[in-house]
Amino acid sequence: MQLTVNGHQYDVHGEVGTTLAEALREELSLTGTKIACGEGHCGACTVLVDGEPVLSCITLVHAVDGARVTTIEGLRAHPMIDAFVRSDALQCGFCTPGQIVSAVALVESNSTPTTEEIRHAMAGNLCRCGAYPKIEEAIRTWQG
C-alpha cells in the first residue's frame, strides 16, 4: 500500500487487520497519534484522511490505500498548537494530539465556530483531566 503522510509518500506493509493507528505508530514511528481505547470510543487516535477526521484505531490501513493522511506531526506549525498551549488546554496531554487534529478539522471548514459548533465537533474527543473549558477557549481564539 501507499500512503501520503504529512506530505511524504510511504510504502506500508501492514498485515491484514493492521489499523491505520498501528501502521502510523509502529511502522512509521509517528507516535504523536495516541491509542487510548483502541475501539473508537475516545477520539485520541484522530487523524485526517483526505482532510476528514477519522478514528485511526478502528480504520484498517488497507481501507485507506492511496489516501492523504495528516497526523499531529504534520500540524506542528499550525496556529492551533500555540492556541492550545496559550490557553492551557491540556493537562496530562495524552488526548491532546487527537483534540488538536479534531479542532483543526473543524476550523479548516469553519474558521469561526460558535460555542455550540465547537461542542458538537469536539464531543467525540474525551479528556479525563477535564481540560474542556480551555479546549473550547483555544478553539475560539485559535487565530490569536
Partner 1 sequence: MARLIRTEKEVEGRYEEVWLVVEEDSLDQWPAGPREIVGRDAVRIDGRERATGQAVYTADLQKPGMLHTAVLRSPYPRARVTSIDLAPALALPGVHAAIGPGDIEQLTADCSFQGEAVAAVCADTLGQARAALRAIACEFEVLEPLLDPDEAVRRGSLLGEARERARGDYERGLAEADVVVEAEFRTQVVLHNSMETHQAVVEWIGEGVEVHISTQYIWGIRDAVAQGLGLPADKVRVVCRYMGGGFGSKNGPDEYTFIAAELARRTNRPVKCALTRREENTAAGNRNATIQRLTVGARSDGTLTALGGEFVNAVGWSGWSSGTEGPMQMLYACPNVKTVTYGAKLNLPPMKAFRAPGFVEGTFGLEALLDELAAKLDLDPLELRRRNHTDEAPEGNEYSGKNLLECYRRAEPHWERRHDVRARSTETVKRGVGMASQIWYGGGGPPSYAWIRVGSDGRATVVTAMQDIGTGTRTAMAQIAAEELGIPLEHVTVTLGDSDHGPYATLSAGSSTTPSVGPAVRAAAADAREQIEEIAEQRGLKGASVAEVVDVLEDAQILGKGARGPNPTGKQVLTFGVQVAEVAVDIETGEVWVERIAAVHDVGRVINPLGASSQIEGGIIQGIGHTLSEERLHDPATGRLLTTTLDAYKLPTIADVPEIVSELIDVPDQHLTNLGSKGLGEPPIIPTAAAIANAIRDATGADVRQLPISREEMLRALREAEARQKEKVGAPAGV
Check residue 26 for interaction with partner 1 (CB under 8 A): yes
Of 55, 36, 32, 39, the C-alpha closest to 129 is: 36
Residues 76-95 within binding reach of partner 1 (CB under 8 A): 76, 81, 84-86, 88, 90-95
Please identify, using beta-carbon distances, which residue of 7 and 66 lies nearer to partner 1: 7
Check residue 105 for interaction with partner 1 (CB under 8 A): no
Minimum distance from CB of 76 to partner 1 (Å)? 5
| Secondary structure, 3-state, 3-70 | EEECCEEEECCCCCCCEHHHHHHHHCCCCCCCCCCCCCCCCCCEEEECCEEEEHHHCEHHHHCCCEEE
The residue within the footprint of partner 1, chosen from 5, 23, 28, 32 (CB under 8 A), is 32
Check residue 53 for interaction with partner 1 (CB under 8 A): no
The residue within the footprint of partner 1, chosen from 6, 59, 70, 96 (CB under 8 A), is 96
H-run or E-run covering 2: strand 2-5
Check residue 44 for interaction with partner 1 (CB under 8 A): yes
Minimum distance from CB of 86 to partner 1 (Å)? 6
Of 64, 61, 56, the C-alpha closest to 14 is: 61
Write the CA distances from 98 to 15, 48, 124, 144, integer angstroms: 25, 10, 10, 21
How many angstroms separate the CA atoms of 55 and 30, rounded? 15
The residue within the footprint of partner 1, chosen from 5, 67, 122, 142 (CB under 8 A), is 122
Instruction: Return residues touching partner 1 (CB under 8 A).
Output: 15, 17, 25-26, 29-39, 41-42, 44, 71-73, 75-76, 81, 84-86, 88, 90-97, 100, 118-120, 122-136
